[in-house]
Amino acid sequence: MITTATAPGKLIVLGEHAVVYGKPAVALAIDKRFACTIQESDATYLNGNIADFDSNPHIRKILEMHGLRNIAITTESAIPPSSGLGSSAALSVALTAAVRKHLKKEIDENDISMEAFEAEYTAQGRASPIDTSCSTHGKGVALNCPKDVGKHLWTISKCSESWDVSDIPVPRMTFVVGYTGIRAATGPLVEKVKKFREHSRFASDIIDEIGNITLEGMKAMNKNDIEELGRIMTQDHKLLSILGVSCKELNKYVDASLAYSYGAKLTGSGGGGSMIALTERPDLVCEAIRLRGGQPFVVRTGVDGVSVDP
């Protein structure tokens, strides 16, 4: 039996890094998907080679959780790897769904998002469920948002943190992504912030501040106040820069985009990867990013989450 599942990438509108410490965050699913096909085999393969689990600890974890061996996995992705757009989480979500279907287990969003989060947590060393929840549910997802902003989906707890995951309405918005082409793994950036926070009161204040403005941003998005949302995104970028997770390319593209945008910021773990701009003039923003050496593209947001071939 051959089983295929696909899951979307995501962009984080507000709250990355701070969400690891239980602060609120908002993410939207994007129209770039990761596909995973599996079938029984005589050993465990990944794209035609014996699977290298040291480079893919999330895959190992998912197969272990389901006691599955001797499976050939084939992947295909439109999400650039280590780009801040959730390619690792989308793989974990799509593979979890494919494995569940293969083993005739229930295809339930809650179970898939929990298992994919476990896999990402193992791979990253520390994580929040923002990426895996958004890739599973699709549309718009907020973590730890006020009750009147979203509809509660599930709660995930790990170590001393807990996250209430909610579905939120997604207004019509246009986002341009500016990809730096610089691959930046999430784990080391999360670790960098952790160390900064452990050694500096200033860093934990910045994380609190990101949490506070994210709540304001959620309310603005809920009221369809795109101008205010953009302003808060730019503010968030400044705070993330102070936390040490931006880089000169991201700052350059954010700066260049602001002339034609409501707001702009890095998205995901930073250190390279991508930035986003919220705009009504996507062509001008794309041109500004391209002129500075970035790779711009417009994304559609609020798309469907995980899907399994019938």
Positions in 126-155 near ligand MEV (CB under 6 A): 127-128, 130-131
Tell me how far, at minimum, the Cβ of 115 lies from ligand MEV, in Å.
16
Nearer to ligand MEV (CB atom), residue 12 or residue 229: 12
Task: Give the number of residues in contact with ligand MEV, rule: CB under 6 A.
Answer: 13
Which lies closer to ligand MEV via its Cβ, residue 17 or residue 265? Answer: 17
By the rule CB under 6 A, 87 interacts with ligand MEV = no
Any idea which residue has 């689990």 for tokens?
Answer: 53
Residues 184-213 close enough to bind ligand MEV by CB under 6 A: 186, 190
| Residue choice 11, 13, 19, 29 for contact with ligand MEV (CB under 6 A) | 19
- Give the C-alpha separation, 286 to 294, whole Å: 9
Distance of CA 301 to the CA centre of its chain: 13
The two structure tokens encoding residue 163: 């996250």
- By CB under 6 A, tell whether 17 contacts ligand MEV: yes
Give me the least distance between CB of 75 and ligand MEV, in Å please.
19
Q: Taking the complex as a whole, how short is the minimal distance between the CB of residue 122 and ligand MEV, in angstroms?
A: 12
User: Candidates 102-110, 124-132, 175-183, 255-263 — which segment interacts with ligand MEV by CB under 6 A?
Assistant: 124-132
Q: Rank residues 71 and 213 by Cβ distance to ligand MEV and give the closer one.
A: 213
Q: How far is the CB of 152 from ligand MEV (least distance, A)?
A: 19
Q: Which of 7, 11, 14, 20 binds ligand MEV (CB under 6 A)?
A: 20
CA dihedral (159, 56, 17, 116) positive or negative = negative
How far apart are alpha carbons 95 and 58 in whole angstroms? 10
Residues 6 or more apart whose Cβ sits within 8 Å of residue 135 = 7, 8, 9, 10, 29, 86, 89, 90, 92, 93, 116, 305, 306
**Of residues 12 and 258, the one with the C-beta less far from ligand MEV:** 12
- Selected from 144, 269, 274, 279, the binder of ligand MEV by CB under 6 A is 269
Q: Which span (13-21, 55-63, 203-211, 221-229) binds ligand MEV, by CB under 6 A?
A: 13-21
What residue ranges bind ligand MEV (CB under 6 A)? 12, 16-17, 19-20, 127-128, 130-131, 186, 190, 268-269
